[in-house]
Structure 1
């Protein structure tokens, strides 16, 4: 009975902290964007090349990559022009072609949220305008990089907040830029906002529904990098993004998983992640995430604290970081440690 009472107390506390004083209404419930890229029906019906195109809903990234190897430059350009959203978002398509396709799709968009993303010189690896919008951007020369990192953000991130000016180091673009600046030559960093994130501190943030959909997309994205011949990445997972990474871990091609400001990874310990990747965790003393009870009961909460001593993750110093979004601030011990992990120095 006493144990049951403690469990109820933990659930009540988790609910209060995650939901805030306004209750679950403090966050808006989101519907995850899933499935193949927009425009896939038109892509499947296209017979202009005289052969069947790979089905975006069934073809693996490797199969997509193999198909594009058979095409000449003229055929690739024709697909880009007729189907920019599929070409730009289909994992396995050569990254140079994806950059050009997404630049074309962004120029054709009249949504003011995307005007900055359409600026010349930006390397947009994914652009899906459905829902609140999903984006991935590359910093550095991904094709020649010896080390690749992927940054997976947490709540309240979409195409409109991907590189907002306020709270820069809490955005995927800001985190990725900072990490890229801290690393040496031969590194590339991808800011990946490729899933539907929770909005606010509502039910979505306290459950794993959106993370499950995000984990599937992240796993496929990493498989696409592999199909294109790129190195296995180090994946940095912030806040709710660490829930995504925890659920993806067993199938995610990565050398290292680095979680920061994590509410939990839906696992009791590193062994529960069922991954061969090295697992790292950072949490500074001023991060409000420390006030969220690390429990998982009846689908609420995300489980054990990855930065706790019993989880088994390697600790990343974070004495200089401040708050929930201070881990990538230039000059911090956490950013220096992240750069060492990204470059393989800390292995």
Structure 2
């Protein structure tokens, strides 16, 4: 083995060691993460849906039917049949990509009320532990919040750590739609937590919607199992590989049901999900912020026709994570580096890893222009954006 080859291998070993040190010691006070089991497969209640022949029609399989097929199925139904399916199978209709948004809102409201009633019986169940009772009370509070009048819940799944998607704005009339894909430590309980507001999907979604025009809708999507803390889950692509097909199907369901192709905003580990989904996402703009990498060496490796944008502020701790993918660890090149080929979004006024959507920042201003459709023209790029 020659000296150059030995030196190259040594450098790769050092990079891998540095990456593992970052994972094991954590950054900015994050704890070592526990391994998560990704939620995959069709919506809850699918077996009952498949067995339902009472309406005299064959229902599309939630697991195998395409969003286009599902959209066509609902288009063929009158309102009475639609309403009966919502009443009989709220957990399926509420999570069925391609179904009309209004039906999904109603179905998820029904499903949330049913889950709240179930937890209310668990609070006083003598066969359960005190910890179970406390968990039930916490879920009741969570479901009450999601059932607040005016909230538009486009997806809800209580299994595991829980998943949810919420719409801000009028999806039915929107000329432009955006989807926010979050990173680690996000689930049903942390979707809209009061602390670190702009580090939550709800906070990001609210901020982006407030910064855009009246004909724009934003969806905060927690439809995959995110890593918890820093650990192997955050350093590998395992959860992203499980989440990418779910994101693709969700976005395809939006376009199948008549909404414009969404701009997709991907924060932190969410950008790993978006990188793996990029070639199949129906989007004109793919925006990553605070990204550890997209499992690609360049924009060309994403195999997407979308414009790819990247933002990273100088105070973001993610910049300390080695930009490498080696032996399954790490997520590849930094999308914010010029060599990656993404269009750079200014983020000088953003602070830390979760400050990109904070009001008054240059990054939010640029995001809003992309969400409003201005970023889709070379002649009308977000102010300060660099190519």
Q: Which TM class, normalised by the smaller chain length?
A: over 0.9
Determine whether 1:5 maps to 2:10.
yes
Map of 1:173 onto structure 2: 202
**Contact 2:233/2:239 (CA < 8 Å) preserved in 1?**
yes
What is the rounded CA distance, in whole Å, between the counterparts of 2:113 and 2:26 in structure 1?
43
Map of 1:262 onto structure 2: 291
**TM-score, length-scaled by structure 2:** 0.88
Deviates more, 1:233-242 or 1:48-57: 48-57
What is the rounded CA distance, in whole Å, between the counterparts of 2:324 and 2:24 in structure 1?
15
Match for 1:96 among 102, 105, 121?
102
Map of 1:304 onto structure 2: 333
* Secondary structure of 2:179's aligned partner: strand
Alignment of 1:163-312 (within 5 A): 163-312=192-341
**Contact 1:247/1:265 (CA < 8 Å) preserved in 2?**
yes
Map of 1:321 onto structure 2: 350
Map of 1:68 onto structure 2: 74
**Contact 1:114/1:160 (CA < 8 Å) preserved in 2?**
no
Map of 2:185 onto structure 1: 156
Match for 2:170 among 141, 144, 155?
141
What is the rounded CA distance, in whole Å, between the counterparts of 1:323 and 1:68 in structure 2?
45
RMSD between aligned residues:
1.2
**TM-score, length-scaled by structure 1:** 0.98
Match for 1:20 among 19, 25, 29?
25
What is the rounded CA distance, in whole Å, between the counterparts of 1:256 and 1:21 in structure 2?
32
**Contact 2:31/2:229 (CA < 8 Å) preserved in 1?**
no
Shift of 1:19: 2.9
- Largest Rg, 1 or 2: 2
**Structure 1 segments unaligned to the other structure (5+ residues):** none
Runs of 4+ more than 6 Å apart? none
What is the rounded CA distance, in whole Å, between the counterparts of 1:57 and 1:148 in structure 2?
25
